Amino acid sequence: MFAIIYHSRNFPSVEAVIVILLQRSLHTASVGCASYRFMAPKNITLLGQLDLSHEKFTLKVRVIRLTKQLTYDKKKTFRIDIILVDEEGTKIEAQVPSRWVFRFEKMLAENESYYIENPQVGENTADNKFVNNSNKLHFCPITMVTKSNDFVGPLYGFSFENYQTIIGNNILEKTPVDVIGHVLLYFPKETFMSKHGKETRRQNVQIQDLEGRKVSVTLWDEYAQQFVDYVSNNPEERTVIIIIQFGKVSDYRGCLSVSNWYFVTKLYINANIEEILLFKNTLVSKNSFENLSANCSKDSSSLLYYETDEFLLKHDFKPITEIQEITKVSRVIVLGTVDEDIMMNIELNDGSNGKKMFVCSSSICNNKVVVSVLPRFKIPIRVQDPTGVISLTLFDGDANRLLRKNAQELLEIFNEDGNTAIFPVEITDLLERKFAFLIEVSEYNLKNKVQGYSIRKLTADRKIHSELEKKFTVDEHVDSDSFNTATFEVTSQETTNFKDAISFTGDNITPASNVEKSTATSPLAKYRFSKVVSPNAELKRNLS
């Protein structure tokens, strides 16, 4: 039996259905709660053959991704976004606009195959294109959807990217990527407030291909939680294979990683699908996993890359005085105490009479005046250890986690209070506290001989501090008389004030700032600091 479904073009908002039942052996389609039988359409058009001139045609495709955009109250669907693949593996984006959601919402489902007749073909003008296709399909009143049971194309439509292409940074921005790999290690999940004041979850993972090449993966929010839930619920699983589909390559301050792309990305973790099973079998047959995991324990917790590994094993530790001797781009660990002179405040009469004006200097804005900006942290600090003083810059992500408030929240408090006398408590509470810092000696530092560095990570963990202190060597001429020390932990305080500040920074690097410092007490025992005199000290006092 089969059903022919006619849509009345004279009444596009009303679906006129005439069902002609014949006794034949045919396929089955479901529309809403009803079940219909139909004959498979002929003259199938392949996605690779489509262009803007096509009007009436039939596609035989599989839905490999379907996401619904909900109304503000989350009670109704106002748009359906779809990614389709045909039997040749060509993919295309499609969309059901709000006015036709009621007709197609119950017909379409992820991982199902369909004949789609007479959608409209248009140019994909979206800024973010989730497949490599310049065209896009739009469902319209004359579009017909019937189910196909004889689709023989790819079930998931994966297009795996070579790791070397990712590592070599040879992928254009906003280009979709699929990757598959064995989870070599993962870091503890991080939870912090985003710049928009929303709680954000982040999970960093390192995966490896069958040739031993490694790629970093950053999973956000629900994808981070999906990964955490899996490893928590499968504590005995050692071989974890993941696929990130419809991801993107992110370049964060020179660090490349694959991340999920909004909520279009699909994350497969040890799924029972051919691609993962084949990868796992090949991995085991090559003995790659046994070699890589020779030093691991027998449960998945061995894959967890703890903070202690980051600060004690992965990177070299350097006393501050040796940082300026580094001659190649690298990341190193330093241990020190935040100095009292955390940043400079400069009151300037710029003729604004209290009015705010922002000038965007990016290539997109072309120096246009903008009426509002999104505040972000960029906190220059001075850190000292037993050997010297260094200038570092704390950026938005770590500052959010450390201060427990984002820049927007502190700015709002400042605007309400208007007190310009002091910095907020959250920032001043960093003074005289000890941290271990992972810093980057960049090409900019080496080329311009700038001795101010960016902070990549920091920790207040006392155990890590204790291990790092053992790495200090005592100079014969250093006074070894010990004096009492104190250990501090980062805590969250109520914000009382906010203060605008100007930091002399360039290219995300804080220049060296050796400000006058007399002999001081350090949390590190058995060391005494010599006096450091800066030619800018008098200027700083005048400006302050």
Angle at 89 between CA 84 and CA 94, to 5 degrees: 15
At residue 462, does pLDDT exceed 70?
Answer: yes
Q: What is the pLDDT of residue 286?
A: 78
Q: Mean pLDDT over residues 76-99, rounded?
A: 96
Question: Given pLDDT bands bounded at 50, 70 and 90, which one contains residue 401?
Answer: low
State residue 415's pLDDT score.
Answer: 64
Answer whether residue 535 shows pLDDT above 80: no
List the beta strands (DSSP E) in 396-492. Answer: 434-441, 452-459
Percent above pLDDT 70 for the chain: 62
* 532 CB neighbour count, 10 Å cutoff: 15
Separation of alpha carbons 192 and 200, rounded Å: 5
Residue with the larger pLDDT of the pair 383 and 17? 383
Quick one: tokens of 384? Answer: 């000292």
pLDDT digits (tens, 9 = 90+) for 314-343: 899 999 999 989 999 999 999 999 886 544
SS3 of residue 273 by DSSP: coil
Compute the mean pLDDT over every residue in the chain, rounded to the nearest whole number: 75
Taking only the tens place, the pLDDT of each residue in 215-239 is: 999 999 999 999 999 999 998 888 9
| C-alpha separations of 42 from 45, 53, 58, 336 in Å | 9, 20, 8, 73
Residue 96 near residue 124, CB atoms below 8 Å: no
Mean pLDDT of 429-437: 85
pLDDT at 112: 97
Find the range with the poorest average confidence among 169-183, 280-294, 494-508.
494-508
* pLDDT over threshold 90, residue 41: no
From CA 200, how far away is CA 222, in angstroms rounded? 10
pLDDT digits 0-9 by tens, 162-172: 999 999 888 88
User: Which of 118-132, 403-417, 519-533 is the least confident region?
Assistant: 519-533
Q: Please, which pLDDT band fits residue 206 given cuts at 50, 70 and 90?
A: very high
Q: Tell whether the model's pLDDT for residue 46 goes beyond 80.
A: yes
Instruction: Give the pLDDT score at 507.
Output: 36
190's enclosing H/E stretch is strand 190-193
Amino acid 294: pLDDT: 38
Query: What is residue 135's predicted lDDT score, i.e. its pLDDT?
Result: 96
pLDDT tier at 520 (50, 70, 90 boundaries)?
very low
Mean pLDDT, range 94-99, rounded to an integer: 96
Name the more confident of 39 and 456: 456
pLDDT score, position 303: 66
| Region 482-503 average pLDDT | 33
Of 360-364, 465-469, 512-516, the range with the lowest mean pLDDT is 512-516
98 has pLDDT over 80: yes
Lowest mean pLDDT among 227-231, 279-283, 395-399: 395-399
Q: Is the pLDDT of residue 390 over 60?
A: yes
Among candidate residues 242, 249, 279, the one with its CA nearest the CA of residue 167: 249
* Residue 398 or 222, more confident: 222
Q: Find where tokens 């990016």 sit.
A: 362
Q: Please, what are the domains in the chain?
A: 27-147 (2.40.50.140), 178-301 (2.40.50.140), 312-543 (2.40.50.140)
Q: Is the pLDDT of residue 94 over 60?
A: yes
pLDDT in tens, 54-78: 889 999 999 999 999 998 888 899 9
What's the mean pLDDT in 270-279? 96
Question: Is the pLDDT assigned to residue 536 strictly greater than 60?
Answer: no
Cα–Cα distances (Å) from 459 to 83, 124, 128, 195, 307, in that order, read 43, 46, 36, 21, 8
Q: Is the pLDDT of residue 205 over 80?
A: yes
Q: Please give the pLDDT value at position 380.
A: 85
Decide the pairing of beta strands 452-459 and 434-441: antiparallel
The most confident of 16-25, 279-288, 494-503, by mean pLDDT: 279-288
CA distance 504 to 380: 9
pLDDT computed for residue 399 by the predictor: 65
Question: Do 268 and 242 form a contact (C-beta atoms < 8 A)?
Answer: yes
